[in-house]
Structure 1
Amino acid sequence: MEGDNGITEEERKVVQEFSYLLEKSKQLFNGLRDLPQYGHKQWQSYFCRTFDVYTKLWKFQQQHRITLDTHYGLKRWQIGEVASKIGQLYYHYYLRTSETNYLIESFSFYSAIRARAYYSKVNKEKGPELMVKKLRYYARLIVVCLLLRKMDLIRELIKELSRHIDEYVSLFDTSDKMEWSLVLGEINAFIEADNQVIVVDKDNKQMILSHRLSRDVLPPLEKGCPVYISLQEALIIGNCQEQVKFSELTLDMYRMLQTIEREPDPDLNQSETIIPDSQENSQKVGKRENPHKYLLYKPTFGQFYTFMGTAFKELPPNAALLLYMSADGSSGCDKPQDYGAYDYGGIATNNRKEGNDQRSNNKPSGNLKEMHCVHPGDIYPFTRKPLFLIVDSPNSHVFKGIPNLFGQPVIVLMSPVQLPLAIQERCYVKGNLFTLFLSDPVMAFCSICDITDVTADVWSKCQKVMAKVANDSANLLCKSRGIDHVYMQFYGDEYLRLLILRYIFCYATLRYHRGFKDESFYPQSHPDLRGNDIMENALLHKHVLELASILDVRPVFLEVGETD
């Protein structure tokens, strides 16, 4: 039966139900902002409720599109908004769980918006709000594509975003037009800086390189080798002032994020959307193969301690916490007061100067320390559980004396405190060398040899040598009598094993490079791996020379038996 306005009772119910679901979805989505970013228990039920409503909303608009077009006035940009919110949900769910298949789901919804041109007519609206939503959508899609290494698509998206920014600026006289130009500049700078080495195939087309963990980059555990500890939690912190960043993600953070993730599941059926409707289902889909990660860009000390404390609290038995810090150094007191763990500075996680002007007359300025700085002593409480610490900073060496106070395994891998001037200047833009060795050792090798492009055939040969390096380093590590047992306690975890083996290769490469002549140019570890039969082993030296020969840079390195 039709009413006076030509709408049936059934159609009115469709409109009412859609309006209810739309409003409910907005409320739940906005509520996500109030959830704490740390911890991964209390947010689970809220996320699932939000997913549930958005799933119903998405299916409902598909089933009743004609009715909604006619009697609700549903516009294509509104459908795009729903799809964009679902894409954001999946992206943030990926950040919470570290499960890359949710990242793929985010991409599928974002790419559908572009393929179906949901935002194509927003420039005809009166205000700038919808154009801003369109620009934000592009920025989010580019972040997801970066994490999935869809570099060819990113280049297309950058061109489209640039065109839309120009259109936005020409249509609306707004105060944020400069901000969008800066966003575009950040994206371009990030992409350019990440291209340390260009690998081209036989058709001269650039290959897309992945830094995620795959079967061919890591030697398996020997049969009977015990697994004592697995990596479950990771904090990735970035605050290098000169380093390019995009969307609160520095190059170093971006590289380390991928290094401790597996490649996405290639067998995932993208036609069947994963709905994390329960904790059990989420774990079944992801299998928790990736450690849970927190990404902290320029955290205050309070934020660092909160996130670190939460990760520590939620660490299960026989599990390890990884703390990775890529940041500028913060010097210690002018006159050390014999406080040990706090005298010699640490890592500046944030450069705010709050409180520095509140010096009392009886407090010498030489004792004033940076507020947002992680000192070695700040780490001590967290050594009550297994801790794997990576410090990439000019002040990294202050962490080499962390004591074993609680009998739990602790490893610290520290970057060189100095680099040759030419290398150092490149790192300001291209990311830190130590992190590059941990994420892509062949690319780092090329970088210190000033190699900017190679063929796919040469790259493949280099990867085969790296496989031999990893295998031989693993054998040396497992059979060495002089090595501290703490390394074997972490060795059973594949991510930590990979980081240890790449650290060994980093040391060997820099040790035999003629341009790295000072001890300060080499990475350090705690417990110290030097002084045994691993770090300067002739077999690893030969592999370094083999790699150099393939890349035609052998004269750059010392020959076996040659001294500096």
Structure 2
Amino acid sequence: MSATDLVPTMDENEKKVVNEFCHLLEKSKQLFNGLRDLPQYGHKQWQSYFGRTFDVYTKLWKFQQQHRQILDTKYGLKRWQIGEVASKIGQLYYHYYLRTSETNYLNEAFSFYSAIRNRGYYSKANKEERFCFIILKELQTQIEDYTLTYEPEDQMEWSLVVGEINAFLESDNLIDIHDVDPNYFLLSHRLTPLNTPPLDKSTPVYLALQEIIIVGNTADQVKFSELTLDMFRVLQTLEREPQEDFTGTQIYDASPAPGRPPFENGDKNSKRDNPHKYLLYKPTYSQMNTFLASGFKELPPNGAMLLYLSADGSLGNAKHTDDAAYDLGGVICNSRKDADIINKNRRPGMLKESNW
């Protein structure tokens, strides 16, 4: 949408405002779409790109706040469009959390989605607009209305999504705990000063956990998207509960635009609270090797790496003696079989069964 497509009675200042908004909006979309092409490994390869994306979205949000009246009357800015920008900022924080493992950014993402829901940015949305992230019961109601009214053929896919969420939540919360009021008490598996014994200052520390690779490859496992239940629990176990005094000031405000973006090139004066983690769901061998190599490359001299493998066990087909010890079988990390290829014609290096 350009200024020429708009109301012809605009003066020069209004045209300038609308053109600048369209420019920022288009640039933000291009940067956001480019995030999917960034490698998950190697901080230097993606951190600066995230910084530029945060900068553009921050400018876009502040710009629409400062010129809301002109954008409403001359551009036709809708509330769902404002919510869409806020949703993208929330997604940026969530993906930044996945790449940095800092739970404070996860809280930022939650605050944005909570603000979107509380302010009803999508309450008057039409059929072309997308759903925001809402609680499960509301999501189910919205999906039923959407599929009955607009896209009946999407019913199956949305039902699978809701089914995955239901199964995941039910499996993760086997027991419901209530506080004094009839409210749920959420249990956290994260590390806190209350469940972490203090380190003896007289004990020398030779190694520190810096990199973690969490691999989920169990055949039948409760999951949501590409996050299995055990991956989720291990992920939380290896994180510290975020502290309120993380920066001394809020990263977000009631806008809910961010007060400032995450550190573009890292903050040398602040210590990283959590080790960096990679989440891999059913990776191939080449992917595993790539992430292992990248993780080792990022390790400092005193750093250690933890590799968590969740997979089905395999005894293998070969016969073993009674004293086979540790080399008896392994875990199935990836299985590649091609019934159309005869064994004698199998290329060297092609794997029939890949067990670790």
Q: Give the structure-1-normalised TM-score.
A: 0.56
In 1, are the aligned partners of 2:54 and 2:261 still within 8 Å (CA)?
yes
Q: Deviations over 1:144-194 (max 9, x none)?
A: xxxxxxxxxxxxx11100010001111123432211111111111111111
Q: Secondary structure at the match of 1:293?
A: strand
Aligned residue in 2 for 1:177: 155
Q: Secondary structure at the match of 2:87?
A: helix
Q: CA deviation at 1:361?
A: 3.7
Structure-2 separation of matches of 1:212 and 1:313: 27
Q: Secondary structure at the match of 1:222?
A: coil
Aligned pair partner of 1:311 in 295, 310, 314:
295
Aligned residue in 1 for 2:8: 5
In 1, are the aligned partners of 2:147 and 2:154 still within 8 Å (CA)?
no
Q: Secondary structure at the match of 1:295?
A: strand
Structure 1 residue 228 and structure 2 residue 206: aligned?
yes
Aligned residue in 1 for 2:185: 207
Letter in 2 for 1:63: Q
Aligned residue in 1 for 2:92: 89
Aligned residue in 1 for 2:341: 358
In 1, are the aligned partners of 2:216 and 2:280 still within 8 Å (CA)?
yes
Structure 1 residue 259 and structure 2 residue 237: aligned?
yes
Aligned residue in 2 for 1:113: 116
- Going from structure 1 to structure 2, the CA distance change for 1:313 and 1:322 (only over 3 Å counts) comes to same
Structure-1 separation of matches of 2:240 and 2:7: 60
Q: CA deviation at 1:46?
A: 0.8
Structure-2 separation of matches of 1:13 and 1:119: 28
Structure 1 residue 296 and structure 2 residue 292: aligned?
no
Aligned pair partner of 1:22 in 22, 25, 33:
25
Q: Give the structure-2-normalised TM-score.
A: 0.87
- Going from structure 1 to structure 2, the CA distance change for 1:72 and 1:323 (only over 3 Å counts) comes to same
Letter in 2 for 1:296: L
In 2, are the aligned partners of 1:236 and 1:323 still within 8 Å (CA)?
yes
Q: CA deviation at 1:235?
A: 0.5
Q: Secondary structure at the match of 2:52?
A: helix
Equivalent residues in 2 for 1:14-163 (5 A)? Answer: 14-122=17-125, 124-125=126-127, 129-130=128-129, 133-134=130-131, 137-138=132-133, 157-163=135-141
Letter in 2 for 1:329: G
Unaligned runs of 5+ in 2: 1-5
Structure-1 separation of matches of 2:112 and 2:176: 30
Q: CA deviation at 1:342?
A: 10
Unaligned runs of 5+ in 1: 142-156, 376-564
Q: Which structure: larger Rg?
A: 1
Q: Deviations over 1:244-282 (max 9, x none)?
A: 11121111001000111110122352436341252134x
In 1, are the aligned partners of 2:101 and 2:274 still within 8 Å (CA)?
yes
**Structure whose residues are more often helix by fraction:** 1
Letter in 2 for 1:100: T
Q: CA deviation at 1:45?
A: 0.9
In 2, are the aligned partners of 1:213 and 1:262 still within 8 Å (CA)?
yes
In 2, are the aligned partners of 1:330 and 1:370 still within 8 Å (CA)?
no
Q: Secondary structure at the match of 1:175?
A: helix
Aligned residue in 2 for 1:557: none
Say how many residue pairs are matched.
338
Equivalent residues in 2 for 1:111-510 (5 A)? Answer: 111-122=114-125, 124-125=126-127, 129-130=128-129, 133-134=130-131, 137-138=132-133, 157-203=135-181, 205-268=183-246, 269=250, 270-271=252-253, 273-281=259-267, 284=269, 287-335=271-319, 344-351=328-335, 353-355=336-338, 357-361=340-344, 369-371=352-354, 373=355, 375=356
- Going from structure 1 to structure 2, the CA distance change for 1:308 and 1:158 (only over 3 Å counts) comes to same
In 1, are the aligned partners of 2:216 and 2:310 still within 8 Å (CA)?
yes
Q: Secondary structure at the match of 1:316?
A: coil
Letter in 1 for 2:277: K
Q: Secondary structure at the match of 1:32?
A: helix
Q: Deviations over 1:478-514 (max 9, x none)?
A: xxxxxxxxxxxxxxxxxxxxxxxxxxxxxxxxxxxxx
Q: Secondary structure at the match of 1:62?
A: helix
- Going from structure 1 to structure 2, the CA distance change for 1:107 and 1:368 (only over 3 Å counts) comes to closer
- Going from structure 1 to structure 2, the CA distance change for 1:263 and 1:82 (only over 3 Å counts) comes to same
Structure-2 separation of matches of 1:253 and 1:84: 25
Q: Secondary structure at the match of 2:279?
A: strand
Structure-1 separation of matches of 2:45 and 2:82: 30
In 2, are the aligned partners of 1:230 and 1:318 still within 8 Å (CA)?
yes
Structure-1 separation of matches of 2:188 and 2:175: 13
- Going from structure 1 to structure 2, the CA distance change for 1:202 and 1:107 (only over 3 Å counts) comes to closer
Q: CA deviation at 1:206?
A: 3.5
- Going from structure 1 to structure 2, the CA distance change for 1:24 and 1:279 (only over 3 Å counts) comes to same
Q: CA deviation at 1:241?
A: 2.4
In 2, are the aligned partners of 1:333 and 1:368 still within 8 Å (CA)?
no
Letter in 2 for 1:195: N
Q: CA deviation at 1:92?
A: 0.6
Letter in 2 for 1:14: V
Letter in 1 for 2:272: R
Q: Deviations over 1:187-241 (max 9, x none)?
A: 1111111113333334564321111000111221223101111111000111222
Q: Secondary structure at the match of 2:97?
A: helix
Q: CA deviation at 1:85?
A: 0.8
Q: Secondary structure at the match of 2:186?
A: coil
- Going from structure 1 to structure 2, the CA distance change for 1:109 and 1:296 (only over 3 Å counts) comes to same
Detail structure 1 runs of 4+ shifted over 4 Å in the superposition: 202-205, 340-343
Q: Deviations over 1:317-376 (max 9, x none)?
A: 100001011121233233469xx999643222345x44464232488xxx97424x4x2x
Q: CA deviation at 1:80?
A: 1.2
Letter in 1 for 2:279: L
Structure-1 separation of matches of 2:12 and 2:298: 52
Structure-2 separation of matches of 1:163 and 1:328: 37
In 2, are the aligned partners of 1:190 and 1:246 still within 8 Å (CA)?
yes
